[in-house]
Structure 1
Amino acid sequence: MITTDLPLYPWQAGLVAREALVAPSNSRTVARTPTVADLLGLCQMSDTLDQPVFQEHADLHEFGLRMAYLQFPYSEDQYGAVARLLPMLDRHFSRPPFEIMSREAISDVLGGPLDVFVDSAPFFSAAAIRNGGRFQESWLTGPQFAEIRAEIDLDVLMSVFRHAWASTIPDLRARARSSTSANPLLRPFDWNPLQARPYVQLSDGSHVAPNVWWAHNRVSPTAVYHLGMDRHQESWARDLGRAQEDYLVHQLGQLEPLARVIPEFEYPTRNGSVRTVDAFVIFDDLVVLVESKSVRARLGSTTSADAYRDLLRRDLDKAYGRQLPRSVDLVRADHPKLGGGVSAKPVVALIVTPEPLYQADSPSFISSLPPPPVPTSLIDVSKLEKLVAAARVTRSSDIIAKQAGRGSHDSADMNNAFQAISGGLRLPNPILDEAFAQGRWQSSDET
């Protein structure tokens, strides 16, 4: 069990755990039980591994990309990821536009209702921390869990655990081996199946979470995406993308009456009817175009600069090259659906993705896309939630204009701006805060 009090980095621990899975069976036989000192030694050895950047003609941008995807996910705020699930997915899904998504389909994918999946986050995260990473189902019948049994159906909770939290060693080993890089120098950056299934079932039926970081970050829209993709493939991806679009408009609606929020609409052109960006946010001094995109970093796309540029071009070229210019033209023409009086206002744009696309806004990668007609920033949903919260607190569009003008590669400067507004506290976002308050328990400490 790798805990937060050991002097090591989570990505070091992840590499050791993954290599233990993919190692040949005869190399896993040990003469004695490994100690904490053994673990620390193995983790520290990861810093001495040869790297492609040390080779001749190495691409430093490529190295920065790989390191970003190796390390940055561990610093992401989990509050929004958990709280976002209910307002985004606990809803009616009309047909069309949705293809297969429904409350029943989500429950089928997760092993139980969405609210139980959300409430499983602090429960199984706390279990990993408090019990040395070990968990036994039989414990749930004990007196220490009497209050838990009064709050939640344990059969449903354990169904969610088996579907969304745990897996067997053979399954995890097969998943790890199937995604192992042919180039051994890239092995530290390979996808780790323990991130998707943080608990491992042992031969006696008990479970262990090798790394608390993975347990802590299990519940999120990203988890729902991958669990659904295993069963429904692209139909699930499209539906989740539509749900994200609706959620962003819902989030932006919190800016009213400070700003007017106008959802996408169709308008005629010589080539037929086309749609605008997903939302126009019209402040007194600024127009913000917001476009939701479902692009996620795929396996193999984050270890090669060329593959990453291909990913961006494939999934974002339309937004940068067509959707933004057309919608900017509507603003400049004072289209009647925008309410009038917008043509002279400055315009900026936000392209919003479900997860951070690390380094994508840096000149080395963003230059692969058509130049946008207005200052544009590529951000994730979590950043949009923070921008909405900050704009509500300041009663101003300044923070959004700052983000769009600087881009995500100036994240340190933006973090300082958020800190100055919040005073170091979490910025209030009513949609997230109300959803989080619906949980059966308010913190993992109570579990």
Structure 2
Amino acid sequence: MATESPEEAAGRARAVLADLDGLLPEVDALYQDLHANPELSGAEVRTAGMVASCYAAAGLDVTAGVGGLGVVGVLANGPGPVVGIRADFDALPIAEDTGLAYASTAVGTRADGTTVPVMHACGHDLHTASLVGAARLLAAHRDRWRGTLVLIAQPAEETMQGAKAMLGDGLFDRFPRPDVVLAQHCAVTRTGMVHHKAGIAYSACRNFRITIHGRGAHGAAPHWSVDPVLLAAQTIVLLQGIVAREVDPDEMTVLTVGSVHAGTRPNIIPPEAVLEVTLRATSEPVIDQLQAAMERIVNGVAATGRAPRPPEIELREHTIAVDNDAAVTARVRAVHAELFGADEVIDLPEANKGSEDFAYLGADIPATMWFYGSTAPELWDAASGELRERMARMPGQHTPFYAPDRLPTLRRGVETLVGAALAYLPGRPA
């Protein structure tokens, strides 16, 4: 698909990126606005509108409302390959505690009507601002490439619903079908670092809501009850034995009970308890094994504890593993190494235990997703240990404290996208 050398592609990328210094303040302003005004998955109305306006200002052919709130921008620039680039733009139900001048104070409403604080704690605001910046530069330098860009701004990644919804709404039928699909995700490594992983880069994931039924009673008369809190506690403890004692230690697996809800008062034994559980593995057979073991334990504890009826086990969200195409990964990695230097481009030794619904966009099309650092160098360099040990010491994603090293991270985010796009969009004939 790509015949130009990585050196040649990187040379064209440098020419396109020569204007980045002048554009970066606008990219930064967009980022700060997105960060200060985050929206929950499936409710990103304002964000989607901003992206559509930015696409239109860059001269793209814009379609909003794809799969709900998805936005697609198409830039046709003569015959050549079709390159898809995806970024996500939803936020998380977390109260921000970064102390930033542009920190979020936003509140969102969940599907059940409850209100929660909202924060861009995973960096999707970085992804979106970087995509807009790359679109602006590539649109302004059409003389440096030929082909078609399909820029996919996706909602609802955190709930693993956005990619499937956009595909279900004809993403690759209504718009030019890409020859390759590219994406990136910020990481808590040092700003400037770029990480690649051929093969499985993100784990498969299944998220469950488990309702354990009991029989309520006065807290002073527990013998009249079937206590679902006790059953929930026993279930949580036994679930931890699945990874430790039922799965091959060579397999990457995670089982986390991330949410437990029961009761309203210390002197009231409630009628039910609700657990929310996430399962992670790098293969479908192994995650099937995890699910079967989880269901066996949940049902077994309830039966042993005299539950009046079986628990309800509901699969709420799921995604397959991100499986990066080896050839695409190698091609993009080579261009990044030419752009940034070999020392800054690192091969990851193992899959990320997180999950990404980008997997569905690359299920039938060659694709790759890479990672780029967002931690200030002084913070990163002050830590000790190997890569994974240092990452564990950084203010992490999905926490109230995630505060990227803003301008350097935005710069690298635009640079990586432009370089990757031009790895597959050839230059114009002399």
TM range (shorter): under 0.3
Where is the strand percentage greater, Structure 1 or Structure 2?
A: 2
> TM-score, normalising length from structure 1?
0.24
> TM-score, normalising length from structure 2?
0.25
Where is the helix percentage greater, Structure 1 or Structure 2?
A: 1
Structure with larger RCO (C-alpha < 8 A, sep 6+): 2
